[in-house]
């Protein structure tokens, strides 16, 4: 049999409409199926029970014809979302890709980062939103757009040294040597205009105000502050970030802190650096911190997630530790250690009267006249019930006293209310 020949699109001419195209396709399919049915009908059908293809069933073909549901015969081109021609395609100014492009242009990217972003944007325009890598690529570009790549054009002016000294005296009692060293550091920062080359490490027992000192330094410099707890970290990826080949990959803790601060010249406190995890199969996080805390290298810090250099030289890092033995020697060599000693009993009495007791009284809903402690009572409380270098246990004991007074005040108030109600009922 001669196979059915259907006219091609070229033979029909360019003036054929969409209805003619549908009719041609239907004719081609009908002719093909008719030819297959004729071929199948000519082959001898095997007998029932014979060997060979006894289990094969006859093949049936059907053609369902109906009027096209769209005027003209073909549906309108829909396109893919966020793609050219789609409902939120690249030509839409409010689409996802154009929005990312505007944010990336305004981010002030360096040359190498801009080249990488341009390549990834080109890939994103050609990629379907249903692709498994689409969301990962969008997350990467959003991180590139949100990171502060340059210092702010109009930074907040630093606080004068006289005001910084008064703030330190108000927030911290005693520790004269430590406060003097911080004021010297602030004076150098004011003269130079930056903090490059200075990594401070505050070493001392728990509860003596290391974190609050770091906040005071950030306030004196007029910069945003963020604390990163690095105690117990066992993976290098927590510092350098995860590679984008992993599901749910993110940058490291350092770049996350910079993003939260929103400024390239922020103050980041690395808390508990002496408790970094070691002997791990996932890399040594203390070795990963060497590049972060080295002023000669952190100008081109390369996170595994970004895979482009990021300038950390404008960031002021302040580390805290309880013991020097827990800090690896190469990491210790990159920091200037400021030792903080414990408080004496007289210092604790003054701290309790000026800071701790008013804080606990207000926290428990009491008035200043409902609980007052003199120097003798505070001295007895400190000497007999707290034996520590800091003041955390002392603050807990003062909180216990406030809770006891609050319970007595509440019971007395309820009893007075019941007595007044009983007197009113008898009257």
**Is residue 92 very low, low, confident or very high in pLDDT (cuts 50, 70, 90)?**
low
Q: What proportion of the chain, given as a percentage, has pLDDT over 70?
A: 80
* pLDDT confidence of residue 406: 93
Instruction: Compare 395 and 64 and report the one with higher pLDDT.
Output: 395
> In the predicted model, what is the mean pLDDT of the chain?
80
Give 180-220 as a 3 state SS string.
HHHHHHHHHHHHHCCCCCCEEEEECCCCCCHHHHHHHHHHH
* pLDDT confidence of residue 271: 92
What does the pLDDT average to over 405-416? 91
pLDDT in tens, 186-218: 888 888 877 776 788 999 998 888 888 888 888
Nearest-angstrom CA–CA distance, 115 and 112: 5
The CA angle 170-401-168, to the nearest 5 degrees, is 10
Q: What are phi and psi of 386, to 5 degrees?
A: -130, 130
* pLDDT confidence of residue 423: 87
* pLDDT confidence of residue 18: 54
* pLDDT confidence of residue 61: 47
What does the pLDDT average to over 27-56? 67
pLDDT in tens, 294-341: 888 888 899 999 999 999 988 889 999 999 888 888 888 888 898 888
* pLDDT confidence of residue 70: 44
Question: What value does the CA radius of gyration of the chain take, rounded to a whole number of Å?
Answer: 37
What does the pLDDT average to over 157-181? 84
In a 3-state reduction of DSSP, which class is residue 57? coil
H or E element that contains 317: strand 316-321
What does the pLDDT average to over 141-150? 91
Q: What proportion of the chain, given as a percentage, has pLDDT over 90?
A: 24
Q: Which residues pair with 309 in a beta bridge?
A: 302
* pLDDT confidence of residue 7: 46
Query: What is the CA 54 to chain-centroid distance, rounded?
Result: 65
Residue 404 has pLDDT above 90, yes or no: yes
Instruction: Compare 91 and 306 and report the one with higher pLDDT.
Output: 306
* pLDDT confidence of residue 155: 65
Per the listing, tokens 């049936």 go with 60
* pLDDT confidence of residue 131: 86
**Is residue 362 very low, low, confident or very high in pLDDT (cuts 50, 70, 90)?**
very high
Cβ proximity of 177 and 169 under 8 Å: no
Which contacts qualify for 175-178: CB closer than 8 Å, 24 or more apart? 175/208, 175/209, 175/340, 178/202, 178/213, 178/338, 178/340
Residue 63 has pLDDT above 90, yes or no: no
* pLDDT confidence of residue 265: 87
In a 3-state reduction of DSSP, which class is residue 337? strand
The CA angle 339-212-224, to the nearest 5 degrees, is 115
* pLDDT confidence of residue 279: 63
**Is residue 112 very low, low, confident or very high in pLDDT (cuts 50, 70, 90)?**
very high
The CA angle 169-171-172, to the nearest 5 degrees, is 65
* pLDDT confidence of residue 84: 42
In a 3-state reduction of DSSP, which class is residue 29? helix
């Amino acid at each position: 049999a001669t196979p059915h020949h259907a006219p091609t699109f070229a033979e029909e001419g360019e003036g054929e409409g969409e209805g003619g195209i549908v009719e041609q396709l239907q004719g081609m399919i009908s002719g093909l199926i008719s030819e297959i049915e004729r071929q199948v009908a000519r082959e001898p059908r095997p007998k029932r029970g014979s060997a060979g293809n006894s289990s094969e069933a006859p093949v049936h073909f059907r053609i369902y014809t109906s009027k096209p549901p769209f005027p003209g015969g073909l549906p309108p081109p829909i396109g893919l979302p966020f793609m050219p021609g789609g409902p939120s395609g690249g030509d839409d100014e409010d689409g996802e890709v154009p929005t990312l492009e505007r944010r990336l242009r305004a981010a002030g990217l360096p040359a190498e980062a801009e080249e990488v972003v341009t390549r990834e944007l080109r890939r994103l325009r050609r990629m379907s939103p249903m692709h498994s890598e689409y969301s990962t690529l969008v997350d990467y570009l959003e991180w590139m757009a949100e990171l502060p790549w340059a210092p702010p054009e109009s930074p907040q002016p630093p606080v004068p040294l006289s005001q910084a000294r008064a703030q330190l005296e108000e927030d911290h009692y005693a520790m004269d040597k430590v406060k003097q060293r911080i004021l010297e550091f602030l004076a150098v920062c004011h003269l130079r205009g930056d903090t490059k080359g200075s990594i401070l490490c505050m070493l001392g027992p728990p509860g003596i105000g290391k974190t609050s000192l770091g906040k005071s330094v950030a306030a004196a410099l007029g910069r945003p502050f963020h604390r990163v707890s690095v105690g117990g970290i066992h993976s290098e990826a927590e510092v350098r970030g995860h590679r984008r080949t992993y599901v749910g990959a993110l940058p490291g803790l350092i770049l996350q802190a910079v993003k939260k601060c929103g400024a390239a010249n922020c103050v980041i406190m690395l808390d508990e650096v002496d408790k970094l995890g070691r002997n791990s199969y996932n890399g040594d996080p203390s070795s990963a911190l060497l590049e972060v805390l080295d002023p000669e290298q952190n100008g081109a810090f390369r996170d595994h997630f970004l895979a482009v250099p990021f300038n950390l030289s404008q960031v002021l890092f302040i580390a805290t530790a309880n013991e020097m033995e827990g800090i690896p020697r190469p990491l210790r060599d990159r920091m200037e250690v400021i030792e903080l000693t414990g408080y004496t009993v007289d210092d604790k009495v003054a701290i309790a009267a000026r800071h701790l007791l008013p804080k606990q009284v207000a926290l428990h809903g009491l008035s200043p006249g409902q609980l007052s402690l003199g120097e003798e009572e505070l001295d007895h409380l400190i000497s007999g019930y707290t034996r520590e270098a800091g003041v955390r246990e002392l603050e807990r004991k003062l909180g216990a006293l406030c809770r006891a007074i609050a319970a007595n005040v509440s019971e007395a108030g309820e009893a007075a209310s019941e007595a007044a109600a009983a007197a009113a009922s008898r009257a």
